[in-house]
Structure 1
Amino acid sequence: MLTSHRGQPSPLGSSLHDQGVNFAVYAPGAKEVQLCLFDQSGHSEIAKITMYRHEGGLWSVFVSPLRAGALYGFRAAGRYAPEKGLLFNHHKLLLDPYCKDFHGEFTWSERHFCHLPVGTLNPSDNAVDMPKSCVTDIEPYEGARPDIPWSKTLVYECHVRGATKQCEFVPKPLRGKFLGLSHSNFIAHLASLGVTTIELLPCHAFISEQFLTTKGLKNYWGYNSLSFFVPHKEFLVDGNISEFQQMVRELHRTGIEVILDVVYNHTAEGGLDGPTLSLKGLNNTGYYRMVGEQAQYINDTGCGNTLNIDDPYTLKLVMDSLRYWVEFMGVDGFRFDLATILARTEHGFSSQHSFLQAMAQDPVLSKVKLIAEPWDVGPGGYQLGGFPSPWREWNDKYRDTVRRFWRGDAGTLSELAKRVHGSHELFEHNQRGPLNSVNFITSHDGFTLADWVSYEQKHNFANGEDNRDGHSENLSFNCGVEGQTDHQHILALRHQIQKSALITLMMSKGVPMLAAGTEIAHSQQGNNNAYCQDNQINWLSWPQSISERCSQNRSAKGSWGSDEASTLCALIARLQEIRCQYAIFHHPFFIHTQDERFNISWFNKDARPMSEDDWHDSHNKTLIYMLTDTLRKQSLLVILHAGSDDVAVKLPVIAVGVWKLTLSSAPPTETIEQGHQTQSLSAHSAWVYQSHNEDLKND
């Protein structure tokens, strides 16, 4: 027989004790809060227990005997006044915002809506269509962490399901799951590329929007959070949340970090006409941003609502969630979706926001990797370069400049030099360096690298919005034919430009990021907004050559195949080796003039230092730069030629030795003239030289 008494208001959520379970929830405007217990099927509500009120709007109850696995939810009664943003409706079963696991699935129905129509209270009970919060006894994460410095980091942005769903080198039960990513064969692939850090698209439990399910689609990317603590259940093999810990532990054992793409800017509850699932029914006007005294949601996310981080308990929810994923799930950092929102007050973005200050002083979170997507759709939402140290930021200016350069746009040379140099004008103003720039050419959002050189127009008809969704300007080009072709010359050109872009990315100062599938030339068939495509459009199709290599667990250097995927993989691996060999890529500060050790020099095609005229020549599409380490007597020369014609370039003279061609995106032809080495550059090609007889030891 169950007994209950007044519990403790902290910690929030359910806490397992020897004699039972303590439940605590924050619902400051509620008149009554009930704890609802369910049988193990989750179908039958077996008890309703009135919770005890504490100061500050907290409620608690201690129930015994109760054990791990107990299923529950909350019902909050209070004033229903939509015009004031008050949405209390005791007919709605609410998911515990702090639950660490839940049982059952979410099903769309009209019962989830607090009012139907808006303004008229909906008396339908939604419990049958809601997952039930579950009491857990999960232990904190144990195990050594890789602690990869930013200077050695290569990020691999990856979707849990799409990465291994079609992986023949991963056992079938693990495909599309967390444990598929940590299988030894998939880890061997990551290691062969030199990947140090895997960045996972949303892993917090999420649901698909109703407008997608009615069209037979689903939210594949996962930017529609239902819970900030529960791992997405579809990614589990046996439904046990400890599988996430197991994945992290296996990746850590091989020296690979795990970063989560997290969505704390909005939730799946949408706007006023959206469902009431958790936060809305507990403290709607506190958890979400409203327009003044009105009940109108501020929609800086484009998703119906915006989380109100200015509210102390909303801030606490986010901080507690982040800390949980580090301390209990073992993750090494976070990439924050629409991060500007998290530092926005009612007056706009502030680099002194309480969230940023809280992160900086937190003894746990201040030590992990933090990456901002520094924009949202609200006023003043574009804040690239505005975040404080130690934050890193996605650099979309890098992406766009590299794309424009290799597309052949005129007048891009000086802008490209800034990006290759680490974007000093964006980060140096507040004492940050080139390693604060996360450089990328493609990500989950937009064209893949293969599609970037294959499509000039988006092809999003499968999304069911008549091709209106997605960006219309992708800075892309199709090399002469839109989409798939059998024309060998065009296929060769596309392959070469992909290699040229990868050389640019890896030979730039900053932190490089690859979108999963880049290394195997994955195509989304021209879809540049594939957020709702849970199919072959998003699932990586692994070539036989890569499957065989991974099945043999070959992660170290060795022979690669000659097919397109193998050559891209080999190129990435070699470029990462070079980055690790040259200390100049690890240098945390910008180099403007010769310093005590490092130097960067820019040359024209005649091996003379770049002049003002050279920089402002809009027809100049050849960037040549030399990176020098005087202590080691190392020099690295990079040549990027985006012109459509071949061109001869003199290589600058170096004090010791001669240049040795290390790699290129096109077949080399090299001649020597009067002490100068002269290289004939193919159109759309990139070249990397190392000074001969140099010391290649790691610093």
Structure 2
Amino acid sequence: MNTLSTDYSSISLQPGVPVPLGATWTGEGVNFAVYSTGASRIELCLFDEQGGHETVRLEFAERTDNIWHGFLPAPLGGPGLVYGFRVYGPYDPTYGLRYNGAKLLLDPYARLLAGSFTWHPSLMGHQEDPQQNLPDVNDSAPYNYKARVIDDAFDWGEDRPPAVPWRDTVIYELHVKGYTKLHPGVPERERGTYLGLAHPDVIAHLTRLGVTTVELMPVQAFLTEQVLSDKGLANYWGYNPIAWFAPEQRYAIDDAVIEFKTMVKALHAAGIEVILDVVFNHTAEGNEFGPTLSLRGLDNATYYKLETSSPGHYINRTGCGNTVAFGHHAVRRMVIDCMRYWVEEMHVDGFRFDLAAVQGRENGRFRTDAAFFKQVAAESSLRYVKLIAEPWDIGADGYQLGRFPPGWAEWNDLYRDGARGFWRGNPGVLGNFAERFAGSSDLFRASGRRPTAGINYIACHDGFTAYDTTAYNDKHNEANLEDNRDGHNHNLSWNCGVEGPTTDPGIIDLRERQIRNMMATLLLSQGVPMLLAGDEFARTQHGNNNAYCQDNDISWIDWSAAPQRAGLIEFIRQLLILRQRAPGLSRDTFLKGSLKQDHDHKDVSWLHPSGRELTDADWNDPHARVLGILNGHAFCDPHGTLNGHLLFLCNTSDEPVDFHLPEAKTGMQWQFVFDTARWQVNDPGRVLPSEICTVSPHSCVLLADSDVPSSVHCGLALTLK
């Protein structure tokens, strides 16, 4: 639409309606509605198609409660129209009031961004010395994003949610750009985009590996902070949102909305769910010295948490300068509207909430029964989506793992630390490792939740990759230009003898074995496993454990490494086949160590190398480095009866250990499924010649009795290669 040729002299807004909020194409025009409690006047500003030239300002004449609204009939009001808001009112930051009509504001309900963003002093709502409490009067419109009206129509065909049950879920965390930027099978034009992720070669890798659910790092439109831009760096991860409803345009070739929907449709057709990592806890407007881009100029005191005794300052429970005020009903409404939009219009299957403790705080304290959690539970369109919390923020009492309400799953960083610490050989961790392996009942059982409430992982975007956990003792974040001060130091890593790259074949073998050990542990544990993209072929970030600003080959997935690590990919694939076919590895109830009638073994037994069950003294032995785990109800026969046993033997010590094996089921024998120290040996289905199994140093062995169903034998190469 070419608004430059339009005569605006006789145009005014019709009354319109207060719902829905945002800009809505009705077929006859566009209805605009925006929330602001303290504004004295609001103008709708229209721009040319590129968002570069402001053509007219139309004043909202109607207000219902705190919602300002107006209707612009077609042909002027229609899809493609580019717009923004100017909001007038009192400017007194001392009281949290930051209205400034000189600042062009982005609609918080914007579905698609237009124009471009450039850091410029005019984006600041205050003059250079904010202590003077004087507004900056320079127009920010040339430098801020605008919104573009869209038509939601899209041919979804027969698209349906895959609706993967939690117990069958395998999550794969990836970055939309980084995952395909270097993929040789994706056309160059599509690399690093939504369409790149929809490419058949990419989807084929995911499905062959056994992934059921991709978790996309932030795709809500975001900004690169000025401090990074000034250094020539970028906010690569995307945890700095500016428009929650709009898909990030830099991952699109043309139309981000259409291309995002195309991606979701392609993944769904392959049976793969799509979960979004959403950032509702803060925005890119930062602290009191930050820019006025959207919420700050619309209604600062409503949308952000301000210091009670000093409203000119922001409460910062996010480490990003501001905290979104979930205690206000308008904020909760906007976030739930946003979730509903992504589910109903964009067809996503769930959300992972960054710093989710913020959403549960009321009067400064976290509450399991917080109003936001209740409203999400009451929203019918969100009833069956997956909800995952990153269960902490940086505020006082911010660590809330295990305290989220029923219906929510949580990232379990205690699992990561338990598994890494165990395989590193840390003293005194045996009991903690067993608790994590068994599903973390200490965190979830008391509230009636299941093992699937825990999202288990060895590595995620934040921290070392799985390979770097075996190759670096210390972080190496020099490329971030913060003198290696950024990123945490609690990596629980072990470089196996050399820091970084090496040509020593012994160390290379040990590192690969350690990766297999950790991956085997992850995929044999109770709970929902999450893999970090590229860990299946030992991706490295060269020791950078905080690559949030590295939009380059430090962060991009190096697909050339995949053929060299085909064995590791196959190892993980076979483990996922085993997990799929062994219901006892992904239970809906916690392991109890109990013996049921007509079963040879307990549901779980924790074994000493001598063959007996562990005693209290064993659990408390700080020098213990060896553990046997017998899953006595691993498989399910055609009648639904659990039988067939798996025996997982772990040795984190520097010496080989002889395990005395428990008796297999009557008339059966133990046979190898895998031995991480004998990876290159092709000896499928090898039956143990005696009642002793020698487990090599820093390795694990999985045994199965010969009562394992034939369907599993057919699908698994029992000694993987």
Matched, 1:238 2:254: yes
Q: Does the residue aligned with 1:49 lie in a helix, a strand or coil?
A: strand
Matched, 1:467 2:476: no
**Is this contact kept in 2: 1:448–1:522, CA < 8 A?**
yes
Partner of 1:201: 217
Cα distance between partner residues in 2 of 1:41 and 1:525 = 41
Q: Which residue identity does 1:241 align to in structure 2?
A: V
Matched, 1:370 2:387: yes
Matched, 1:32 2:41: yes
Q: Does the residue aligned with 2:694 lie in a helix, a strand or coil?
A: strand
The list of structure 1 runs, each at least 4 consecutive aligned residues, that deviate by more than 3 angstroms after superposition, is 595-598, 668-673
Deviations 1:400-421 (A, max 9, x none): 0111111111111111100000
**Is this contact kept in 2: 1:199–1:259, CA < 8 A?**
yes
Q: Which residue identity does 2:136 align to in structure 1?
A: N
Partner of 1:619: 623
Partner of 1:573: 573
Partner of 1:404: 421
Cα distance between partner residues in 2 of 1:545 and 1:50 = 58
Label 1:272 to 1:684 Cα distance change in 2 as closer, same or farther (>3 A): same
Alpha-carbon distance, 1:693 to partner: 3.5
Partner of 1:175: 191
Alpha-carbon distance, 1:225 to partner: 0.2
Alpha-carbon distance, 1:535 to partner: 0.4
Partner of 1:522: 539
Q: Which residue identity does 1:337 align to in structure 2?
A: D
Cα distance between partner residues in 1 of 2:213 and 2:687 = 42
**Is this contact kept in 2: 1:181–1:187, CA < 8 A?**
yes
**Counterpart mapping for 1:500-511 below 5 A:** 500-511=517-528
Cα distance between partner residues in 2 of 1:590 and 1:52 = 60
Alpha-carbon distance, 1:63 to partner: 1.3
Partner of 1:609: 613
Q: Which residue identity does 2:413 align to in structure 1?
A: D
- Match among 330, 343, 361 for residue 313 of structure 1: 330
Deviations 1:293-344 (A, max 9, x none): 5221000000000000111110011000011001011100010000000001
Partner of 2:550: 533
Deviations 1:514-565 (A, max 9, x none): 001101111111111000000000011112654xxxxxxxxxxxxxxxx3x2
Matched, 1:342 2:351: no
Q: Does the residue aligned with 1:543 lie in a helix, a strand or coil?
A: helix
Alpha-carbon distance, 1:587 to partner: 2.0
Cα distance between partner residues in 2 of 1:41 and 1:414 = 61
Q: Which residue identity does 1:275 align to in structure 2?
A: P
- Match among 682, 685, 699 for residue 696 of structure 2: 682
**Is this contact kept in 1: 2:223–2:240, CA < 8 A?**
yes
Deviations 1:404-458 (A, max 9, x none): 1111111111111000000100000100111111000110000111111111111
Q: Does the residue aligned with 1:489 lie in a helix, a strand or coil?
A: helix
Q: Which residue identity does 1:473 align to in structure 2?
A: H
Matched, 1:304 2:318: no
Alpha-carbon distance, 1:19 to partner: 2.8
Q: Does the residue aligned with 1:317 lie in a helix, a strand or coil?
A: helix
Alpha-carbon distance, 1:672 to partner: 8.7
TM-score normalized by the length of structure 1 = 0.95
Cα distance between partner residues in 2 of 1:14 and 1:681 = 64
Q: Does the residue aligned with 1:244 lie in a helix, a strand or coil?
A: helix
Q: Does the residue aligned with 1:24 lie in a helix, a strand or coil?
A: strand
CA RMSD after TM alignment: 1.7
Mark the runs of 5 or more structure 1 residues left unpaired by the alignment. Answer: 547-562
Q: Which residue identity does 1:81 align to in structure 2?
A: D
**Is this contact kept in 1: 2:174–2:532, CA < 8 A?**
yes
Partner of 2:717: none
**Is this contact kept in 1: 2:650–2:695, CA < 8 A?**
no
- Match among 40, 51, 59 for residue 50 of structure 1: 59
Cα distance between partner residues in 2 of 1:147 and 1:51 = 43
**Is this contact kept in 2: 1:582–1:696, CA < 8 A?**
no
Partner of 1:426: 443
Cα distance between partner residues in 1 of 2:161 and 2:440 = 30
Partner of 1:59: 68
Matched, 1:588 2:598: no
Alpha-carbon distance, 1:696 to partner: 5.2
Cα distance between partner residues in 2 of 1:622 and 1:496 = 16
TM-score normalized by the length of structure 2 = 0.92
**Is this contact kept in 2: 1:7–1:52, CA < 8 A?**
no
Cα distance between partner residues in 2 of 1:485 and 1:497 = 16
Q: Which residue identity does 1:330 align to in structure 2?
A: H
Deviations 1:92-118 (A, max 9, x none): 000001111121111110010000221
Q: Does the residue aligned with 1:129 lie in a helix, a strand or coil?
A: coil
Partner of 2:632: 628
**Counterpart mapping for 1:544-559 below 5 A:** 546=563
Q: Does the residue aligned with 1:688 lie in a helix, a strand or coil?
A: strand
Cα distance between partner residues in 1 of 2:322 and 2:498 = 42
**Is this contact kept in 2: 1:204–1:228, CA < 8 A?**
yes
Matched, 1:211 2:221: no
- Match among 181, 189, 208 for residue 165 of structure 1: 181
**Counterpart mapping for 1:106-125 below 5 A:** 106-117=117-128, 118=130, 119-125=133-139
Label 1:595 to 1:116 Cα distance change in 2 as closer, same or farther (>3 A): farther
**Is this contact kept in 2: 1:650–1:676, CA < 8 A?**
no
Q: Which residue identity does 1:256 align to in structure 2?
A: I
- Match among 68, 74, 88 for residue 79 of structure 2: 68
Cα distance between partner residues in 2 of 1:672 and 1:276 = 69
Partner of 2:3: none
Moved more, 3-12 or 587-596: 587-596
Q: Does the residue aligned with 1:292 lie in a helix, a strand or coil?
A: coil
Deviations 1:70-126 (A, max 9, x none): 011000000000101100000000000111112111111001000022122100101
- Match among 122, 131, 149 for residue 135 of structure 1: 149
Q: Which residue identity does 1:194 align to in structure 2?
A: G
Q: Which residue identity does 2:658 align to in structure 1?
A: A
Partner of 2:17: 8
Q: Does the residue aligned with 2:277 lie in a helix, a strand or coil?
A: strand
Alpha-carbon distance, 1:648 to partner: 1.1
Alpha-carbon distance, 1:611 to partner: 1.5
Alpha-carbon distance, 1:213 to partner: 0.2
Partner of 1:451: 468
Q: Which residue identity does 1:15 align to in structure 2?
A: T
Q: Which residue identity does 1:28 align to in structure 2?
A: T
**Is this contact kept in 1: 2:237–2:549, CA < 8 A?**
yes
Moved more, 277-286 or 50-59: 50-59
Cα distance between partner residues in 1 of 2:21 and 2:625 = 59
Deviations 1:544-593 (A, max 9, x none): 654xxxxxxxxxxxxxxxx3x21111111011111111111232111213
Partner of 1:356: 373
Q: Does the residue aligned with 1:5 lie in a helix, a strand or coil?
A: coil
Cα distance between partner residues in 1 of 2:364 and 2:241 = 26
Q: Which residue identity does 1:606 align to in structure 2?
A: S
Cα distance between partner residues in 2 of 1:681 and 1:306 = 51
**Is this contact kept in 2: 1:581–1:696, CA < 8 A?**
no
Cα distance between partner residues in 1 of 2:91 and 2:570 = 62
Cα distance between partner residues in 2 of 1:459 and 1:332 = 36
**Is this contact kept in 1: 2:178–2:192, CA < 8 A?**
yes
**Is this contact kept in 2: 1:644–1:683, CA < 8 A?**
yes
